[in-house]
């Protein structure tokens, strides 16, 4: 569906050239929700704006639905952009137009007849849950309602791709979740490919199938979300993942736990999918002559399943402890021994 090959974007400034995007390679399949995460200045906003050519790449190839976007001009580019909807952090609504008129605006530009525009806007108002607010102005709407208008407007021309540029970062947590649930619903109903950029790992783990992590203009890590959560490779990825793998109430480091439990073994267990519900610790206590203390843990629910971490302290004869650890590994649970007696 979408292929990026060695995409670069270099800006010229008084102090010299600035490389905002540096050699990005991505493959995004049709119907995927693909998340791009990074902190401010990572280059993610510049990257997403190159998908629809709001920014022109300095070099490289951007292919969307078998079309090389960088080579399109004039009418061809306008038609291609109609198939790529976009929603923004600050909504970008027309404040002098009602909800219905905002949604109809791209259809008006495309030359769609008034009766068809009205019919399409009515469909979209129902889809995004804004029935009864058709004649309201943006100033009369909540943040979540404004973003729903933005989503409906982006869908007006029946796009194949939806770009989301920090679409939830201006919203409170509860409203963010409702917008993310709407995006998942749209993805499933319409088979729409969704690309979202964010600095919030909550957004990625809530709805994304795959994720790319950006830092200093480059993608430093990418893969399906469960794999990235289970085995983050880069320091920045570990920093993002730790927001959900470390218990918020405790957040003690392995070193602190080792200091508190100098004898025995401090072990970090990683569970994915069905493993989060298996009675593994109970079975260890029943079947092996060891004592087990649960120190801290947390389960996060991802789009592709559940992911959890658990820190335990296990003590006993060394041979028996090793048997217990072997048993845990055989249950497809990640095991990291953080301290040995």
Residue 267 confidence (pLDDT): 87
Residue 304 confidence (pLDDT): 62
Q: Does the pLDDT of residue 314 top 80, yes or no?
A: yes
Strand partners, 84: 161
Query: How far is it, in rounded angstroms, from Cα 92 to Cα 95?
Result: 9
Contact, 106 vs 155, CB < 8 A? no
Averaged pLDDT of the chain: 88
Residue 305 confidence (pLDDT): 65
Residue 186 confidence (pLDDT): 94
Name the CA dihedral angle for 176, 179, 185, 186, rounded to a multiple of 10 degrees. -140
Contact, 103 vs 156, CB < 8 A? yes
Q: Does the pLDDT of residue 338 top 80, yes or no?
A: no
Does domain 248-339 bear CATH number 3.30.70.260? yes
Task: Output the CA angle 26-28-30, nearest 5 degrees.
Answer: 165
Residue 50 confidence (pLDDT): 95
Residue 95 confidence (pLDDT): 95
Q: Work out the average pLDDT over 288-294.
A: 90
- For the stretch 122-143, pLDDT in tens is 999 999 999 999 999 999 999 9
Give the distance, in angstroms, between the CA of residue 197 and the centroid of all CA atoms in the same chain.
7
- For the stretch 28-87, pLDDT in tens is 999 999 999 999 999 999 999 999 999 999 999 999 999 999 899 999 999 999 999 999
Residue 256 confidence (pLDDT): 62
The superfamily in CATH containing domain 2-244 is P-loop containing nucleotide triphosphate hydrolases (3.40.50.300)
- For the stretch 165-212, pLDDT in tens is 999 988 998 999 999 999 999 999 999 999 999 998 889 988 999 999
Residue 249 confidence (pLDDT): 42
Q: Work out the average pLDDT over 296-323.
A: 80
Residue 250 confidence (pLDDT): 42
Q: Does the pLDDT of residue 149 top 80, yes or no?
A: yes
Where exactly are the structural domains of the chain?
A: 2-244, 248-339
- For the stretch 237-289, pLDDT in tens is 988 887 765 544 444 455 566 666 667 788 888 877 655 567 888 899 999 99
Share of the chain above pLDDT 90, in %: 64
């Amino acid at each position: 569906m979408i292929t990026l090959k060695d995409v670069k974007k270099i800006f010229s400034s008084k102090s010299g050239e600035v490389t905002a995007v540096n050699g990005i390679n991505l493959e995004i399949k049709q119907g995927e929700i693909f998340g791009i995460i990074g902190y401010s200045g990572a280059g993610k906003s510049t990257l997403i704006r190159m998908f629809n050519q709001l920014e022109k790449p300095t070099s490289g190839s951007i292919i969307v639905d078998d079309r090389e976007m960088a080579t399109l001009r004039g009418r061809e580019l306008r038609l291609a952009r109609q198939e790529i909807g976009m929603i923004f952090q600050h909504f970008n609504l027309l404040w002098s137009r009602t909800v219905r008129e905002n949604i109809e605006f791209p259809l008006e530009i495309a030359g769609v007849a008034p009766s068809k525009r009205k019919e399409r806007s009515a469909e979209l108002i129902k889809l995004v849950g804004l029935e009864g607010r058709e004649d309201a102005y943006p100033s009369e709407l909540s943040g979540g309602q404004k973003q729903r208008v933005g989503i409906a407007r982006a869908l007006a021309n029946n796009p194949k791709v939806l770009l989301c540029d920090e679409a939830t970062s201006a919203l409170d947590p509860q409203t963010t979740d409702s917008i993310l649930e709407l995006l998942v619903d749209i993805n499933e109903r319409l088979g729409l490919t969704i690309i979202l950029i964010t600095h919030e790992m909550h957004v990625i783990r809530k709805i994304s199938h795959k994720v790319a992590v950006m830092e200093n203009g480059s993608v430093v890590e990418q893969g399906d979300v469960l794999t990235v959560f289970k085995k983050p490779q880069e320091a920045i990825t570990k920093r993002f993942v730790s927001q959900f793998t470390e218990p918020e109430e405790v957040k003690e480091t392995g070193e602190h736990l080792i200091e508190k439990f100098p004898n025995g073994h401090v072990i970090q267990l990683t569970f994915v999918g069905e493993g989060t519900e298996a009675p593994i610790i109970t079975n260890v206590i029943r079947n092996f002559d060891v004592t087990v203390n649960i120190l801290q843990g947390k389960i996060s629910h991802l789009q592709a399943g559940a992911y959890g971490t658990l820190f335990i302290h296990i003590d006993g004869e060394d041979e028996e402890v090793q048997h217990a650890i072997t048993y845990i590994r055989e249950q497809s649970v990640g095991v990291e021994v953080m301290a040995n007696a």
